[in-house]
């Protein structure tokens, strides 16, 4: 199948042995192939069990997307007004509380909210509410002659349900309706609406992930209520709050059935909003969220920081970040969906600014929204994209350690012990006569460092064909690059390889990587590390993932059906 793809993508390459790749002929984007997927295999027989669900505040991205979906919808002017929420507007730019992390992922489960956090959220909510109040008619109408109290309650109940991700209880409905009427008395309905929106957005029922228990499932395990389940599903697949349809499914009870749950998950995965979560997951998984703000040596790589625009973005860095974003969304939602493709695809989405960087000439019929073929001897999937290679490198030189550690920890889910205290972990100073690899060899030979660095560096050396920004190179300081590497203590993926393309292909076939990828999605979806009680759910998810040929869509559809996702351990 990969050969077939190559033949399609590389008509000239194969014929002429030329290193210049050509773009694929534009084709209409295939429909999302989710609906055709086979029903999942029956779950293995397992005790019902699930890990805990600690109180978890929305992350910044979850907050911003939720507010955006609530208030902007598809309205472009509201979208513009809300952009300040992202903290990139110039004047008095909004500040939201910073996130914590769990594993590679953002999740706010430990530190309690401080006064400053509450202040910042108050100010952000007020700004968002102002946007709504300025567009009153989009949110609130009251026919002449009708009872203002009834109109207020209608707004509070319908809008409040979206914000709280569940229907308001009577006492809450009263409380917010009263707030509306009290504020409207002096300033009219716009004031009432402003206060209600601002307050709803500061309520713990919005800021914290929804808690709602259903029936007991087993001793010490309780099912989530339908709205908590809907909320989990929406933040996993959309990085945002549930929409009306999902809340309706929770209300009708259909979400509680396996078929209803799957139908919603399929619908949501097909929706554009799924792009946010898929992108967010992969950037965090690969540790490259901040690639746009990572500096590089400007003498060696002037293009990295050139032509900055007024908005503060560096076009080159944005282009390599966008490449990865487009790529993961394309593969998972419009392509074959396979983990194998994510890790080995010899194509990507290449902005014009990146043609030189990837050593390709502008393809005929170039279309930035279509995949562009890259030299398959140089590039294979995510780990050979500029974003990964450049972020996991020093400013002037590559970093075999950083790249090796990412593979070991984030792709293989293996822990590494701490380095000894007071170790000098400088990168060795560049020596114009040596390659990076030669300079780093000391790590492995040193008695103290070698114990761990033999687990790390021989993986990282496989990436030595890519410099500090991820450009392909065959020589360094005049010396030929040696990109041979080895994975030790790595189970089925162990053994020698030569270069990142071979490494990527090894990883793509590995069961260990498969297990880890499932685990990472689990952590992302639940915002916590796995516990022993989650073992069965992880196995269910992995079995289905494997059965589907490692189709990420199948994984995203099965994960919400597992015990750990639908239930929680009863804690104190």
Partner 1 sequence: MNRIHNGQFGRRQFLQALGLPAMAAPFLPILNASGRERVFPKRLVLFFTPHGTIWKDWKPTGTEKKFTLGPILKPLERHKKQVNVLAGLEVRAPGVGAPHTKGPAILWTGSPLLNDKTFVRRDGSGGLYFGWNSGPSIDQVIARSVGGVTPYRSLEFGVRSGISHPGSRMIYTGPRQPLPPESNPYGVLGRVFAAGGQTYENLRRQRKSTIDVLKADLDGFKQEAVADDRQKVESHLAAIRSIETRLEQKQVTCKRAPKLADGIDPNARESTPEVLELQQDLLTASLACDVTRIASLQYRVGENDGDRYTWLGIEHDGHHGMSHSGDSNAVEIGNLTKIYTWYADRFARLLDRLASVKEGNGTMLDNTLVVWGSEIAKGNTHSFQRVPFITAGGCGGAVKTGRFLEYGDLVPHNRLLVAMAHAMGVPSIETFGSTDDGRGPLERFL
By CB under 8 A, the residues from 44 to 103 that bind partner 1 are 54-55, 87-93, 95, 97-103
Write down the least CB distance from residue 90 to partner 1, Å.
Answer: 5
Question: Would you give the DSSP letter of residue 31?
Answer: P
Closest to partner 1 by CB, 252 vs 298, is: 298
Question: What is Dmax (Cα atoms) for the chain?
Answer: 87
β strands within 407-456, DSSP E = none
Task: Please list every residue from 102 through 121 that binds partner 1, using CB under 8 A.
Answer: 102-104, 108, 110-120
Number of residues that bind partner 1 (CB under 8 A): 87
Task: Please list every residue from 515 through 534 that binds partner 1, using CB under 8 A.
Answer: 529
Closest to partner 1 by CB, 5 vs 529, is: 529
The Cα 517–Cα 552 span in angstroms is 9
Q: Is the dihedral of CA 330, 335, 337, 343 positive or negative?
A: negative
With CB under 8 A as the contact rule, the residue among 406, 412, 483, 558 that binds partner 1 is 406
Task: Please list every residue from 209 through 238 that binds partner 1, using CB under 8 A.
Answer: 211
With CB under 8 A as the contact rule, the residue among 143, 415, 474, 532 that binds partner 1 is 415
Q: Does residue number 133 form part of the binding site for partner 1 (CB under 8 A)?
A: no
For 473-482, the CB contacts below 8 A with 24+ separation are 476/435, 476/436, 477/431, 477/432, 477/433, 477/434, 477/435, 479/434, 479/435, 479/438, 481/435, 481/437, 482/435, 482/437
Closest to partner 1 by CB, 17 vs 417, is: 417
Q: Is the dihedral of CA 185, 189, 194, 195 positive or negative?
A: positive
Q: Does residue number 441 form part of the binding site for partner 1 (CB under 8 A)?
A: no
With CB under 8 A as the contact rule, the residue among 68, 72, 140, 183 that binds partner 1 is 183
Q: Does residue number 306 form part of the binding site for partner 1 (CB under 8 A)?
A: no
> Both tokens of residue 42?
């029956």
The count of C-alpha atoms lying within 13 angstroms of the C-alpha of 37, restricted to the half-sphere facing its C-beta, is 32
Write down the least CB distance from residue 410 to partner 1, Å.
Answer: 8
With CB under 8 A as the contact rule, the residue among 252, 257, 298, 361 that binds partner 1 is 298
Write down the least CB distance from residue 241 to partner 1, Å.
Answer: 17
Task: Please list every residue from 531 through 570 that binds partner 1, using CB under 8 A.
Answer: none
424, with CB counted inside 10 A (0-12, 13-18, 19+), is exposed
Write down the least CB distance from residue 207 to partner 1, Å.
Answer: 8
The Cα 380–Cα 343 span in angstroms is 6
Task: Please list every residue from 470 through 499 that binds partner 1, using CB under 8 A.
Answer: none
Question: Would you give the DSSP letter of residue 23?
Answer: B
User: Which residues fall within 8 angstroms of residue 568, CB to CB, at 6 or more apart?
Assistant: 50, 51, 52, 53, 213, 221, 222, 224
Q: Does residue number 303 form part of the binding site for partner 1 (CB under 8 A)?
A: no
Closest to partner 1 by CB, 520 vs 540, is: 520
Asked if residues 264 and 285 have their Cβ atoms less than 8 Å apart, the reply is: no
> Both tokens of residue 143?
């026919």
To the nearest 10°, report the CA torsion of 507, 508, 512, 517. 110
With CB under 8 A as the contact rule, the residue among 83, 154, 175, 273 that binds partner 1 is 175
Closest to partner 1 by CB, 115 vs 532, is: 115
Segment interacting with partner 1 (CB under 8 A) among 40-48, 171-179, 260-268, 544-552: 171-179
Q: Does residue number 309 form part of the binding site for partner 1 (CB under 8 A)?
A: no
Segment interacting with partner 1 (CB under 8 A) among 200-208, 343-351, 382-390, 473-481: 200-208
Closest to partner 1 by CB, 90 vs 369, is: 90
Write down the least CB distance from residue 265 to partner 1, Å.
Answer: 27
Q: Which residue has the tokens 């209803």?
A: 260
State the Rg of the chain over Cα. Answer: 26
Write down the least CB distance from residue 557 to partner 1, Å.
Answer: 28
With CB under 8 A as the contact rule, the residue among 417, 432, 447, 478 that binds partner 1 is 417
Identify the H or E element spanning 500: helix 499-509
Asked if residues 500 and 466 have their Cβ atoms less than 8 Å apart, the reply is: yes
Write down the least CB distance from residue 379 to partner 1, Å.
Answer: 23
With CB under 8 A as the contact rule, the residue among 274, 383, 389, 405 that binds partner 1 is 405
Q: At what angle do helices 274-285 and 258-270 cross, to 10 degrees?
A: 80
Q: Does residue number 454 form part of the binding site for partner 1 (CB under 8 A)?
A: no
Write down the least CB distance from residue 402 to partner 1, Å.
Answer: 5
Question: Would you give the DSSP letter of residue 416?
Answer: -
Residue 11's nearest CA partner among 401, 365, 440 is: 365
Closest to partner 1 by CB, 130 vs 271, is: 130
Task: Please list every residue from 239 through 258 that binds partner 1, using CB under 8 A.
Answer: none
Segment interacting with partner 1 (CB under 8 A) among 10-18, 64-72, 175-183, 370-378: 175-183
Write the DSSP assignment of 58-125 as a string of letters: PPHHHHHHHHHHHHTTT-HHHHHHHGGGGT--STT----PPP-EETTEE-B-SSPPPHHHHHHHHHHH
The Cα 493–Cα 509 span in angstroms is 8
Closest to partner 1 by CB, 102 vs 247, is: 102
């Amino acid at each position: 199948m990969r050969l077939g793809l190559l033949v399609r993508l590389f008509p000239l390459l194969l014929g002429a042995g030329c290193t210049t790749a050509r773009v694929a002929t534009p084709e209409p984007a295939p429909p999302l192939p989710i609906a055709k997927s086979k029903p999942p295999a029956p779950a293995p027989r397992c005790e019902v069990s699930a890990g805990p669900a600690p109180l978890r505040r929305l992350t910044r991205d979850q907050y911003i997307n939720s507010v955006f979906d609530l208030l902007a919808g598809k309205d472009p002017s509201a979208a513009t007004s809300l952009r300040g929420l992202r903290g990139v507007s110039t004047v008095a730019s909004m500040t939201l509380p910073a996130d914590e992390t769990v594993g590679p992922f953002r999740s706010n489960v430990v530190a309690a909210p401080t006064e400053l956090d509450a202040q910042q959220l108050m100010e952000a909510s007020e700004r968002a509410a102002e946007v709504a109040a300025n567009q009153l008619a989009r949110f609130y109408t009251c026919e002449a002659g009708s009872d203002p109290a009834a109109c207020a309650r209608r707004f509070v109940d319908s809008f409040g349900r979206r914000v709280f991700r569940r229907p308001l209880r009577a006492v809450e409905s009263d409380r917010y309706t009263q707030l509306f009427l009290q504020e409207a008395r002096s300033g009219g309905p716009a004031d009432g609406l402003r206060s209600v929106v601002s307050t709803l957005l500061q309520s713990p029922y919005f800021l914290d992930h929804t808690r709602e228990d259903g029936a007991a499932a087993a001793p010490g395990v309780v099912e989530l209520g339908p709205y908590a389940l809907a909320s989990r599903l929406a933040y996993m697949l959309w990085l945002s709050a549930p929409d009306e349809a999902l809340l309706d499914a929770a209300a009708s009870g259909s979400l509680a059935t396996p078929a209803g749950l799957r139908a919603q998950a399929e619908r949501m995965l097909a929706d554009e909003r799924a792009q946010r979560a898929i992108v967010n997951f992969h950037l965090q998984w690969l540790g490259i969220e901040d690639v746009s703000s990572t500096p590089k040596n400007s003498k060696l790589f002037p293009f990295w920081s050139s032509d900055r625009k007024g908005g503060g973005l560096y076009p080159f860095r944005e282009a390599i970040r966008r490449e990865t974003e487009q790529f993961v969304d394309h593969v998972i939602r419009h392509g074959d969906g396979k983990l194998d493709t994510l890790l080995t695809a010899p194509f990507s989405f290449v902005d014009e600014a990146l043609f030189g960087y990837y050593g390709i000439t502008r393809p005929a019929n170039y279309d930035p929204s279509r995949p562009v073929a890259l030299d398959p001897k140089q590039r294979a999937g995510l780990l050979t994209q500029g974003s990964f290679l450049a972020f996991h490198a020093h400013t002037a030189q590559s970093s075999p350690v950083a790249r090796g550690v990412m593979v070991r920890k984030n792709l293989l889910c293996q822990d590494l012990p701490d380095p000894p205290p007071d170790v000098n972990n400088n990168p060795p100073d560049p020596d114009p006569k040596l390659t990076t690899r030669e300079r780093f060899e000391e790590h492995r030979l040193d008695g103290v460092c070698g114990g761990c660095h033999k687990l790390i560096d021989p993986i990282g050396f496989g990436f030595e064909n890519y410099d500090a920004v991820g450009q392909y190179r065959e020589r360094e300081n005049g010396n030929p690059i040696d990109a041979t590497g080895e994975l030790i203590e790595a189970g089925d993926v162990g053994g020698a390889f030569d270069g990142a393309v071979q490494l990527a292909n090894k990883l793509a076939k590995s069961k260990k990587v498969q297990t880890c990828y499932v685990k990472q999605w689990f952590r992302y979806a639940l915002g916590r590390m796995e516990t022993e009680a989650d073992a069965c759910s992880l196995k269910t998810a992995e079995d289905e993932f494997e059965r589907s040929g490692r189709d990420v869509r199948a994984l995203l559809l099965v994960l919400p059906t597992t015990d750990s996702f639908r239930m929680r351990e009863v804690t104190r």
